[in-house]
Amino acid sequence: MICSICPRRCGALRTEHHGEGFCGMGTLPVAARIAPHFGEEPCISGTRGSGTVFFSGCTMRCVFCQNHAISLGGKGVTLTPRQLADGYKMLEESGVHNINLVTADHFVPAVVQSLEIYRPNLPVVYNCSGYQSPQTLKMLDGLVDVYLPDFKYADSALAEKLSQAPDYPDTALTAVKEMLFQVGEPRYDSEGMLQKGVIVRHLILPAHTRNSIDVLHLLKRHFDSRVLVSLMCQYVPCGEAKQDAKLGRTITRREYDKVKRVLFDLELDGFTQDLSSATADFIPDWDLGE
């Protein structure tokens, strides 16, 4: 396979078990964890958890990645589409609220196959970086119920510096528009669990409140109340960020309040976190293959 799945379109050769592209992965999915997860937004995790499949590898290179052990380290086990479908069944039988595919972009063709083998009788959540091509998202049309993208940057220079993705802002805007076109505005069940819709996440980075404020203004201008906004303050230094002069700390109360005030002033609907969430305790154990 000559790959053009992600916006990088690196044209790399990928076989089932080996890849020469930016993501460093073959075409068969590699998963690091398949288990209920309780760290998502309330309308995703609920009381029974979100049935997460954490995939290894990534199409980005965020220096502060909190899942760097799997995004760069490649930890996990290789699964066929049928084995992946069996994982959905196992999660569904455990009683979770939804099936949550985390960072699956570079495995989309195999994910589509898995959902054609077994379509869960639960909402399918696509949990991603926001750095997706519309062509790849179209492959998921009708298979995904809830999109959960990040919107990391409004600043192209910052996106290049921290994630090697200078085209991130425009790419993410286009991606969220496609997501919204596919699934529409938020819809809930009788328990308040999200069944359809888009939640856009933004993680505040220390010393970069201007970027966060600009992101919120972008979301207001382009989407207003048609998407939910999840403002996250859970940043902890991980990976390369531990040695960075600006990124080597958690955000301050003042930084969080400054950005949160803009969220409220813009009347964006969604979620906020308590500063106590800025801990590594919420990072899962990557236990597949151990």
Q: What is the pLDDT of residues 74-129, one digit of tens each?
A: 789 999 999 999 999 999 999 999 999 999 999 999 999 999 999 999 999 999 99
Q: Report pTM.
A: 0.95
Domain membership flag for residue 22: no
CB environment 93-114: b (16+ within 10 A), e (fewer)? eeebbbbbbbbbbbbbbbbebb
Q: Give the tens place of pLDDT for each residue, 198-247.
A: 999 999 999 999 999 999 999 999 999 999 999 999 999 988 888 888 99
Helix/strand/coil for 144: coil
**CB distance 23 to 11 below 8 Å:** no
Q: Is residue 204 part of a domain?
A: yes
Domain count, the chain: 1
Which residue range(s) make up the domain with 128?
30-282
The domain that holds 65 is classified in CATH as 3.20.20.70
108 within some domain: yes
State how far the Cα of 140 lies from the Cα of 83, in Å rounded to an integer: 19
Asked if the structure places residue 287 within a domain, the reply is: no
The token pair at 8 is 């990088």
Q: Is residue 17 part of a domain?
A: no
Question: 238 near 277, Cβ under 8 Å?
Answer: no
Is 5 part of a structural domain of the chain? no
The Cα-based distances of 127 to 53, 105, 161, 178 in angstroms read: 10, 9, 23, 15
